[in-house]
Structure 1
Amino acid sequence: MAVAAIAVLIFGCGSQTRAENAQLDFAAQTLDGRPFSGASLSGRPAVLWFWAPWCPLCQRDAPMVARMAAEHTKVTFVGVGAQDRLDALRAFATRYGVDEFTELADTDAAVWARFGVTRQPAYAFIHPDGRVEVVTGSLPEAELSRRLQALTGS
């Protein structure tokens, strides 16, 4: 009985962790054509910010997201642009200052689908323990800051 309980704890917890981290098992390209591995985010606080260049809320929020990325240096920020052509994604990143952190060109929306994102803007908050929390919609600056602090425990 004790052996069975230990086996359930070991294998049950292990499979749950793998399932939670499976979202990070993706490959993509950055806006400048470099390869990016989602697994590189494993074990550290990170935020994926999902946006589209024609989205008015994304345009409004982009400078604030860039500011938060600069202020919260313990959190890795990755933008995930989709639903448009590569040149439009690049122009958005440059125009709104979000090209200071890694930006992915998710032109086929594969990364969006992996995280269940169907509309923008959206955020995936990746905790160091592997938990991923997806929030859809625009976030006020104070709320985003609070969530970033929670990722790092500061």
Structure 2
Amino acid sequence: MRAFVARHGLEGMTQVVDDDGDIWARFGVRVQPAWFFVPVEGEPVPIYGGLFDGALGERIEATFG
């Protein structure tokens, strides 16, 4: 996970490791990959499936401005 975060320049965002699956269960995640973008205010934004070709950066910008 550290390598992924560094490779994609995500050091400024909080990263969560869910080794025991509690967070998956709370958000109802049933498949991987799954992304949840949780803005400071508002509801979590789920994305199921991969984020390719700049889509990760676009999603971050759309959610957090």
TM-score bracket, shorter-length normalisation: 0.7 to 0.9
Hey, what does 1:147 align to over in structure 2? 59
Is 1:77 equivalent to 2:14 in the alignment?
Answer: yes
Q: Secondary structure at the match of 2:35?
A: strand
Normalized per residue, which structure has more helix?
1
What is the match of residue 41 of structure 2? Answer: 129
Deviation at 1:135, TM superposition (A): 0.8
Q: Which of 15, 19, 34 is the aligned partner of 1:106?
A: 19
Instruction: Give the deviation of 1:151 after TM superposition.
Output: 2.5
Runs of 4+ residues over 2 Å off in structure 1: none
Q: TM-score under structure 2 normalisation?
A: 0.72
How well do the aligned residues superpose, as a CA RMSD in angstroms?
2.3
Structure with the larger RCO, 1 or 2 (CA within 8 Å, 6+ apart): 1
In 1, are the aligned partners of 2:18 and 2:24 still within 8 Å (CA)?
A: no
Alignment partners' CA distance in 2, 1:146 and 1:130: 18
Other-structure match for 1:47: none
| Larger proportion of strand | 1
Cα deviation for residue 105 of structure 1 reads 4.2
| Whole-angstrom CA distance in 2 between matches of 1:120 and 1:130 | 24
Choose 1 or 2 for highest CA Rg: 1
Alpha-carbon offset, residue 129 of structure 1? 1.5
> TM-score, normalised on structure 1?
0.35
Residue ranges of structure 1 left out of the alignment (5+ in a row): 1-61, 80-103
The aligned residue for residue 29 of structure 2 is 117
1:1-154 correspondence to structure 2 within 5 Å:
63=4, 65-66=5-6, 67-70=8-11, 73=12, 76-79=13-16, 104-107=17-20, 109-153=21-65
Unaligned runs of 5+ in 2: none
